[in-house]
């Protein structure tokens, strides 16, 4: 068990779910420290039935801390997490900053737990849209090697953090009232809209979010040459990312086999009876820890293709749940843990 756990970014969209999960799952630890920016220093956050004071994150915040669960903007993770490692803490980071560092383990516990157990430095949790896709790809790849992946996402505003959640609510209210609203998070109005850009525009016209789905998936699956093409779109859904995923595998996987493979894999739930209106919906999947799949069907354009719909709570499995599962794995494998 870890003695002292620091939750960095405890006031953010992911951090608040992290606190909820630590509470719900009765994560074993002696003491918790809640850290955020100077803006939140001194504010009280409800945690485990008490009002806990948030402290300002500094380079000295990690004295006596043995586990850090961090969800801050990239530049904050870049600046402060090396101090946590130097202080001897185990660090699990939600930000994008460290994920592709060759010395950093990028972990989804249902896929590559050994990477977390063997890690010497920071352990990174993947981008939210990557985590749900890579978990759904894993049982298919184990059955027949993946040859090509094409994904389109329909991403919730909570994926852009606390400001994204506020922008959707306030922007929608303003639009219905015929008022203008200055969006803080999005470059275009998100109310009643779809924005085909998440992150900055990178090489060959792809965005940073799209390239994260490509390079992080390859790293987690250990398939450096896997062909992946991603299009990421922000839509006016509060929470829960949806994805259309089409795969080509070495031999064809038919929909019945795929349903069985998904259903047998830890962390995946199948909701697939379209004639009865049963398929994963972001409103229904929000608040749950699994990745949900449905609309499983043959790809009519390829003899070895399969297409499906995939939904997950981006703040849970896409972020906080994944980090806590990693922490639970490490906690259970510490030398002081009962065998
Ligand atoms: N949202 C998702 O679905 C999701 C999924 C996977 C990964 N992530 C990643 O997780 C990280 C957090 O995302 P989020 O959605 O929770 O963002 P958020 O709602 O904007 O929260 C950011 C958190 O970071 C803290 N912070 C900002 N600047 C800081 C500083 N200088 N020192 C200390 N703390 C600071 C904020 O504290 P204050 O409240 O004091 O400003 C807040 O607690 C990001 O890197 C994001 O890319 C997010």
For the CA of 72, the nearest atom of ligand 1: 24
- Answer yes or no: is the C-beta of 11 below 6 A from any ligand 1 atom: yes
Question: Does residue 41 contact residue 68 with C-beta atoms inside 8 Å?
Answer: no
pLDDT at 99: 98
Q: How far is the CA of 160 from the centre of ligand 1 (A)?
A: 9
305-312 and 268-270 strand pairing:
unpaired
**pLDDT of 195 over the 50 cut:** yes
Name the residue among 256, 286, 285, 288 with its Cα closest to residue 272. 256
Average pLDDT over residues 31-55: 96
Q: Rounded mean pLDDT of the chain? A: 97
pLDDT at 121: 86
For ligand 1, mutation pick of 55, 76, 100, 161 (most atoms within 8 Å of CB): 161
For the CA of 57, the nearest atom of ligand 1: 33
> What whole-number distance in Å separates Cα of residue 32 and Cα of residue 54?
11
pLDDT digits (tens, 9 = 90+) for 203-256: 899 999 999 999 999 999 999 999 999 999 999 999 999 999 999 999 999 999
- Helix or strand (DSSP H, E) at 169: helix 162-176
Q: Exactly one of 59, 188, 232, 241 is catalytic; which is it?
A: 241
For ligand 1, mutation pick of 10, 12, 92 (most atoms within 8 Å of CB): 12
Average pLDDT over residues 112-119: 96
**pLDDT of 338 over the 60 cut:** no
For ligand 1, mutation pick of 9, 162, 213 (most atoms within 8 Å of CB): 9
**pLDDT of 52 over the 50 cut:** yes
- Answer yes or no: is the C-beta of 171 below 6 A from any ligand 1 atom: no
- Helix or strand (DSSP H, E) at 147: strand 146-155
- Answer yes or no: is the C-beta of 36 below 6 A from any ligand 1 atom: yes
pLDDT at 334: 86
pLDDT digits (tens, 9 = 90+) for 150-170: 999 999 999 999 999 999 999
Question: Does residue 234 contact residue 194 with C-beta atoms inside 8 Å?
Answer: yes
pLDDT digits (tens, 9 = 90+) for 89-100: 999 999 999 999
pLDDT at 203: 84
Q: What percent of the chain has pLDDT over 70?
A: 99
Domains assigned to the chain: 2-126+319-332 (3.40.50.720), 129-313 (3.30.360.10)
Question: Does residue 104 contact residue 124 with C-beta atoms inside 8 Å?
Answer: yes
For the CA of 15, the nearest atom of ligand 1: 16
- Helix or strand (DSSP H, E) at 324: helix 321-332
Rounded to the nearest 10 degrees, what angle do helices 321-332 and 13-24 cross at? 40
Q: How far is the CA of 94 from the centre of ligand 1 (A)?
A: 9
Alpha helices in 87-185 (DSSP H): 113-117, 128-143, 162-176
pLDDT at 335: 72
- Helix or strand (DSSP H, E) at 307: strand 305-312
Distances (CA, A) of 8 to 66, 72, 80, 121, 139: 13, 7, 10, 17, 33
Is residue 185 annotated as a catalytic residue, yes or no? no
What region, left, alpha or beta, does residue 129 occupy, with left being phi > 0 and alpha being psi -120 to 50 degrees?
A: alpha
For the CA of 131, the nearest atom of ligand 1: 6
Q: How far is the CA of 295 from the centre of ligand 1 (A)?
A: 33
Tokens read off for 303: 């003899």
**pLDDT of 339 over the 50 cut:** no
- Answer yes or no: is the C-beta of 139 below 6 A from any ligand 1 atom: no
Is residue 128 annotated as a catalytic residue, yes or no? yes
Strand, helix or coil for residue 339: coil
Q: How far is the CA of 269 from the centre of ligand 1 (A)?
A: 28
């Amino acid at each position: 068990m870890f003695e002292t756990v620091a939750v960095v970014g405890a006031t953010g969209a992911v951090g608040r779910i992290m606190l909820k999960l630590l509470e719900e799952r009765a994560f074993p630890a002696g003491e918790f420290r809640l850290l955020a920016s100077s803006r939140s220093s001194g504010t009280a956050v409800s945690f485990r039935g008490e009002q806990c004071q948030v402290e300002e994150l500094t380079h000295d915040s990690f004295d006596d801390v043995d586990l850090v669960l961090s969800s801050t903007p990239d530049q904050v993770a870049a600046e402060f997490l090396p101090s946590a490692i130097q202080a001897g803490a185990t660090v699990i980071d939600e930000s994008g900053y460290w994920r592709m560092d060759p010395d950093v383990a990028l972990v989804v516990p249902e896929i590559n737990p050994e990477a977390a157990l063997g890690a010497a430095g920071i352990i990174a949790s993947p981008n939210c849209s990557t985590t749900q896709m890579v978990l759904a790809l894993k049982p298919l790849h184990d059955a027949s090697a993946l040859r090509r992946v094409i994904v389109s996402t329909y991403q919730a505003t909570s994926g852009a953090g606390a400001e994204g959640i506020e922008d959707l609510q306030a922007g929608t209210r303003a639009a219905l009232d015929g008022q203008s609203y200055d969006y803080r998070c999005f470059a275009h109005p998100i109310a009643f809209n779809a924005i085909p850009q998440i992150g900055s525009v990178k090489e060959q016209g792809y965005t940073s979010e799209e390239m994260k789905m490509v390079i992080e998936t390859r790293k987690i699956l250990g398939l450096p040459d896997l062909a992946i093409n991603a299009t990421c779109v922000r839509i006016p859904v509060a929470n829960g990312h949806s994805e259309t995923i089409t795969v080509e595998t070495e031999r064809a996987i038919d929909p019945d086999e795929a349903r069985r493979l998904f259903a047998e894999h830890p962390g995946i739930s199948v909701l697939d009876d379209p004639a009865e209106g049963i398929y994963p919906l972001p409103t229904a999947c929000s608040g749950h820890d699994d990745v949900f799949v449905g609309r499983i069907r043959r790809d009519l354009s390829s003899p070895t293709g399969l297409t499906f719909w995939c939904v997950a709570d981006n703040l849970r499995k896409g972020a906080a749940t994944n980090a806590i599962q990693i922490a639970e794995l490490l906690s259970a494998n510490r030398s002081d843990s009962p065998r």
